[in-house]
């Protein structure tokens, strides 16, 4: 699979995942089901940040990564 995330998207996803993990850990919502949803969402965000592939972007045909044009030296 081709990468479809930019480095900025990776950082934003990592920071958001950390915030969701903290919210779930400190039980912000006082609901077990919400905690599970927060943990699952954070795992998804971490995995997409690590592998640079967002399946939701793939479904909709979005490519946020900056690819170099061959031979031009430009993005």
Please write the tens of the pLDDT for every residue from 18-74: 999 999 999 887 899 999 999 999 999 999 999 999 999 889 988 888 765 555 555
Rounded distance between C-alpha atoms, residue 3 and residue 49, angstroms: 10
Q: What tokens does 20 get?
A: 């969701």
Rounded distance between C-alpha atoms, residue 30 and residue 14, angstroms: 24
Class of residue 48 by CB neighbours under 10 A (exposed 0-12, middle 13-18, buried 19+): buried
Report yes or no on whether pTM surpasses 0.85.
no
Are 9 and 59 contacting, i.e. CB atoms less than 8 angstroms apart? no
Rounded distance between C-alpha atoms, residue 7 and residue 16, angstroms: 14
């Amino acid at each position: 699979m081709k990468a479809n995330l930019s480095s900025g998207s990776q950082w934003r996803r990592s920071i958001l995942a950390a915030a969701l993990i903290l919210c779930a850990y400190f039980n912000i919502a006082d609901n077990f089901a919400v905690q599970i949803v927060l943990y699952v969402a954070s795992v998804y965000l971490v995995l997409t940040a690590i592998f640079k592939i967002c399946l939701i972007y793939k479904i909709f045909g979005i490519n946020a990564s900056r690819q170099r044009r061959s031979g031009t030296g430009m993005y």
